[in-house]
Each structure stands twice: as structure tokens, then as C-alpha cells.
Amino acid sequence: MSGVRVKQKGMPAWHAAFVFCRWLVVRGVGLLVICLVGFDSIVNNWGINQFLGNGYRFLTPIATATNTAELESRYAFANGLGLRDLSNIGLWMVNYTVSQFTSKSANVYFVSAGSYRLDDSMNLCGIFQRKYPVDLTTSLTVRLGLTSDTVSFIRGDSITHTFTDDATRNLGNTSMQSTQLMSLGYLAARTIVDTRFTRPFALVNTSMPQTKPISYYRVFPKSFCTGCEPIAEFGYGTCNLTMVYNDSAKVLTVTTGRNIVGSTYDLGLMLRCSPFVVLSQLFKVLAIIFAVGGYLASRSTVQWYELDIQKPETVILRLVRTVLPKHFPYASHALRFDMFCYNSDIFVFLYCGMVVLDMENSLIFIRHMNLFNALNPQFQYSVQLFALSIRLLWANCACLKLAKIVTNVVYRAGYCGENRFMELFNHSSVTWLYASAILLFYVPPYFEYGNSVIVELKNSVEKLDGVHVDVFNSFYMRNASAIIVGLLANILLCALLDHVVNHKYWRMLRQNSFARQAVFNSTSCLCDFLSDIVVENDSVRMICKARRLSTLQWFFTTHINLFGLPEKDARMIKKRVVQSGAPSVGGASTATSTASTPSAEMAYTVTQDGSNTLHLLDGNLTDVTPLVYNIKILKDTTVVIQ
């Protein structure tokens, strides 16, 4: 068990039990996160969801239509809420959705987003309270329809709601026009068209009120900039409608429309299948290939690698070495799979690229699913939402790695450890990374909070053809800055707490050459593999087996970017080695082994050169050759790194 802190001599029994329990929890959480990633890759894959076909159930009310004109003769549309009452953009959005759905266009995904139990908090039935032109003398079977387009005006975001009173002062209302709303700080954020089609139902030709449970379909296109291709929400639910028929006027009046508490509402979505989404799937596949291939490679002891100046390594050979290095037939447990995925630059940046490219569809899916699941939370949908949100865990890792790269470029240090800011962008253990993931579960409600100050401007109040939605003020884009600030604040807060709580541990890491390479001289962002460091006679040493160190060297030279900074004073290192006495494990040690350690003269130093190559130097500061080190691997001798 590499990097695992086990009981040492002098360690109290309660402390040993705590360390062991912590190890179990960390391993369990790591396994859970990896399972969530696998779950997300299948369940939240838009292509797989569409292939299963449940999203096509919402095609029923428009299946035989090719455009909106054909729907007018099949449904009795409410007075004032007909297709002819829509704005130009609203009518185009409905036409676009109908044509894309009926033709099963390859440019969009039609996905199922679950089934939910409704309560009275979300009024989906009140919109049916209208008058409809119906003639029961020709047919007692009725199909009702309605369509209403609005522009959503939103003010502020999560940050302004928190630090100002814009969520409670000078609020707008639905009777105001666009100029009035904009004078109060509201901005147009989206155009929506709420369209409903009931299933056929029978009525009696009587003037007495008739109450029936009526099932309906919802086709709900939404556009986040004027004229942009819309996405669409689909639904299927049931309402209790109370209706009164006037035979002389040939009018059916729906007097009340109420949700049926406990009834099921099916949700579906039409999402864009853009080149970015397709590219995101490619990134995901490549990330999984490198993660699985690299981890399987790390399960064997990799041969010690030395760069041959006479035969420079090509990009192709380097990529091959990331998953197919030369190795010995000895098992290795140098890296856990979750640690591999959090610390590998290749996996982190590929997976984070997938997250960014698929961000639009992910946010839309999360937002709609959370909106309905919050009414009556169900375990399977809560897990599915968290699996989507956990993607941002790799955004946290990518931010730490990018921060180290930018810091290295902006402040070019002269030696390893000079730039102390670099230390801030590391976590002492994966526990702190998981702590930063806790708040990711609250991304959906955080997003809803940012859009909570909203007013819907209806086409009946003001003609919407002159009201434009700017993409930078749109429903999702406008929250991007607040979400980014929240995520960065979350990362920074966890990092600061880590360094405050574990300040002694960080001070110890600064005194070990291998730890300095990880913390100050590479893009590594987690230090779990450094847990076998001990303090011996005022000297901080890392004690590990040769086979484990060789595999770690391969990981650092292939999956992590090295900065190539030299050690501050190699001669002082040599002097400390010679003057050090024989090691003895101290009471404050956090070693992983209680075995006897080699003498001080056998201590080694890890450093880098200008070509970003990792070197192992002996007590005479002589580079250890692969031939010499591979002999140590065969014997699996203990290596002490000062």
C-alpha cells in the first residue's frame, strides 16, 4: 500500500486507529468518485440516451406535422394564445423545434431526463384557464392547444444578490414593458415559447361544469440569443381541468386548472449536437484510454529512464511511453487509480476539456433536472445530478495545474523552491480535494439563485419582435462569471485551509528534494505519494523501495509537466549528507515503514536539469545510471531521498 501511513513504533493505539480509519475513508471516497465518473460516462452520455429512445415519446402530438401550420387544424387553440399570436421569433422557434423533431435531425439530441412526482409548488396547469373555440355538435372529442411566448428579464447574479439588495428592492412586475424593466436594471436573458397540446378527451354537450383529469404534452423551445438555434424542453403530465361549454357561442371555457398532487411528470430535452459536443466525446474517450492504459502500466515496476542525448525522444515515443513503458515483471502499487486520475496532466486536461466543451448541454440538463427533482428528490436522479456536478472536480485540478504553469511563466524562479506562491497550488492530500467537491453538489441551486430575480414579459403586454436578447446577457452566460468566481473561491479557500491546518507538514516537505520537485518544480497538485517522509536527526528524508521510486519517476516524466529548475545549492546538499549521522525514526515521523533504513552516506537527492529531466544523485552528487538503479530494482532495496 504505497503512500499509506501505518502504525509506527511509539504511535498511540488511538492514533493508529484514526490513521487506518482515515485511510479506509479516503480509499472509499476515491472508489466512489471513480464509480461516479463511470456512471456519468454512460448515463449522462447524450448519444447513449438518444439511442435508448425514451426521448422520442414526446414526438406524439406533432408526429404527423412538418410545420406549425398543420397543427392549427388539429387542435383548438386558446383565444389570444394561438400560433398566429406569436412573435416572429417565437413562431420560428416552434417551427424549428417541430421540423427538427419530426425529421429526427442529426444536429440535435432528443434525451429523456426522468419522471418526477409533482406537488402544488409548481403550477403547470393554470395556463390552461382560457377560452377555446370548440363545437361539440360536430364532435364530442376535443384536443386543446395553446402557445405563449415571453422574454425573460433578469437582474443581478449570485454575487450581487449576496452583497446588495437587488433581490428585494425596486422589483419589476409582469405589467411593465421592456423599457421600464431595463430602467430597473433588468436585462433580456432568453426567449421562450410555452406550447401545450392535450390528448383527445370526450365532453358532454351541457352547460354544467365538467371536471376531468386531462393529460397533455408540453413543447417548450428556449433561445438564449435572438435568432439563435433554440433548445427545447418537453414534458408529459396530467391536470385537473374544470370546463364549462357554451353551445350557442361554441366556446369551451376552462375555469380552473390544477396540478394533480402526486401525479407523474415526464421530462425530456432537445440539446444541440454541435462540433464542440462531438469533440468533447473524443476528449473523454482519449482521457479514459490514457487513464486506464497509464494506470495498468503503473501496476508493473517501470524501468528507470534516462534521456539519451544522442537519440532525442519523439512525441510519438513519449506518448507510447505514457501507456507502454519498459518494465520489470514485478507488481507495483506506487499509485492508486484515483490519484493517477487527479494528478496526471494528460487525464486532467483532456477530461477538463471535455467538461468545458460539453458545458452548455450539461448546464441545461442539470438545471432542468434539478428544477423538477427539487420538488420531491429521488435518489437515482440526485446521484445522476451529482455525477454531472462531480465533473467540475477535474476543473479544480486543472485550475491548480494551470495556476502552477502560469506562476512558473510569470515569476520565473532561479531555483526550485524560490517561488513560494507555487506551494499554495498543492493539496497535502486528496482529502482536501474532496472537501472542495462538497460544494459542487450545490452548483444547481447556486445557479437558480443567480437567476431568481426574474420577470416574464409576455407578447400580449408588449410586442416582442423588437426586444432582443444579447448572448452575453443570456440565461446561462450571465451566470458564468459568478460560477467561475464561486469555483475559484472554493478552490482557494480549501487550499488556504489546508496550508493553515497542515503548516508543519508543508514546512517538512520544503526540506526534502523529491517533495520540492513535486510541490515547486512540476504541475503535480496532490502530495499523497509523499506520505512516506520521515524526520531523522533534523534531516527530512523520504524512504521508499527502489521499485516504487522507479514507477514514480516514470509517472513524473510522462504524465506530469516538469519545470526544470535546479536545486539551490547542490554542494550544501552534499555537505549535509556527509555530516548527517545514522538515521533513527523520530516520534513525529509519518513514515510508511518501520524497517531499518540505510546509512546517511546512502542518501540520494532528486533534482532536475535545464532539459526538464529528473535525475537521482548519490552522496557524491553523481547521477545514478539506469544500469546501477535497475540492479537496485532487482533487489528491491530501500532508497533514502534527502
For residue range 55-112, what is the model confidence (pLDDT) as tens digits? 999 999 999 888 888 898 899 999 999 999 999 999 999 999 999 999 999 999 999 9
Mean pLDDT, rounded, for 428-453: 86
Q: Is the pLDDT of residue 269 over 90?
A: yes
Between 270 and 308, the more confident residue is 270
CA dist., res. 129 & res. 247, Å (int): 18
Closest by CA position to 508, among listed 445, 437, 428, 442: 428
Q: Is the pLDDT reported for residue 534 higher than 80?
A: no
What is this structure's pTM? 0.87
- Please spell the DSSP secondary structure of 447-459, one letter per residue: HHHHT-SEEEEET
- Residue 592's pLDDT band, with cuts at 50, 70 and 90, is very low
Q: What is the CA radius of gyration of the chain?
A: 32
Residue 260 pLDDT greater than 80, yes or no? yes
**For 539-565, what is the mean pLDDT?**
89
Secondary structure class of 460 (helix, strand, coil): coil
pLDDT value at residue 560: 92
Task: Give the phi and the psi of residue 144 in degrees, each rounded to 5.
Answer: -100, 150
The stretch 359-375 carries a mean pLDDT of 92
- What pLDDT, on the 0 to 100 scale, is given for residue 85? 93
User: Which residues, listed in sequence order, are joined to residue 353 by a DSSP beta bridge?
Assistant: none
Domain range summary for the chain, segments of one domain joined by +: 47-273, 283-459+468-577+600-641
Reported as a single tens digit per residue, the pLDDT across 7-37 is 444 557 776 787 778 778 888 888 888 899 8
Count of alpha carbons within 13 angstroms of residue 342, beta-carbon side: 27
Q: What is the pLDDT of residue 613?
A: 82
* pLDDT at residue 480, as a whole number: 84
Q: What is the mean pLDDT of the chain?
A: 87
Which is more confidently placed, 456 or 590?
A: 456
Query: What are the DSSP calls for 178-204, one per residue?
Result: HHHHHHTT-EEEEEEEEEEEEPPEE--
The yes-or-no verdict on residue 219 having pLDDT over 90 is: yes
Average pLDDT on 531-550 reads 81
pLDDT at 636 over 90: no
More confident position, 505 or 349: 349
* Mean predicted confidence (pLDDT) in 553-570: 86
